[in-house]
């Protein structure tokens, strides 16, 4: 008859259990709400104009949500706010992304100067 071994001798390795620590301070809190992520998305997607360059209104509209600023700049300069003035006016872009009306391009319209160059009439 085979001899029975002591169960404590069957296991020669000792395992040490280490309690897991949270990876970050956020791991014990609920994930951020989808509402917060969605409200911050437009800010991340909007592009500002490059400071010290001139932009056509059409270019500003393609770049981001500049419509309200264009209307304010036109009205503040005593210009009409029709679609021709919105699209074919020239605006100076300040370093903070705000714009200042410069001119309305009557005859040839506003011309795109290309990347990193000012637009012109």
Strand ranges across the sheet with 54-56: 54-56, 89-93, 99-104
Per domain, the residue ranges of the chain are: 48-104
- pTM of the full predicted structure? 0.62
pLDDT, tens digit, 9 for 90 and up, residues 37-89: 444 444 444 588 999 999 999 999 999 999 999 999 999 999 999 999 999 99
Q: Which residues pair with 43 in a beta bridge?
A: none
SS3 34: helix
CA 52, CA 119: separation in Å to the nearest integer? 11
The per-residue pLDDT for 21 is 58
Share of the chain above pLDDT 70, in %: 62
């Amino acid at each position: 008859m085979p001899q029975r071994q002591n169960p404590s001798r069957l296991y020669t390795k000792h395992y040490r259990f280490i309690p897991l620590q949270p990876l970050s301070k956020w791991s014990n809190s609920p994930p951020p709400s989808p509402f917060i992520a969605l409200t911050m998305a437009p800010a991340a997607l909007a592009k500002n104009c490059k400071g010290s360059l001139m932009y056509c209104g059409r270019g500003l509209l393609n770049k981001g949500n500049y419509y309200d600023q264009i209307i304010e700049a036109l009205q503040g300069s005593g210009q009409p706010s029709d679609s021709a003035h919105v699209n074919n006016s020239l605006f100076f872009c300040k370093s903070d992304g705000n714009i200042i009306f410069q001119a309305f391009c009557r005859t040839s319209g506003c011309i795109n100067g290309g990347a990193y160059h000012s637009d012109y009439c």
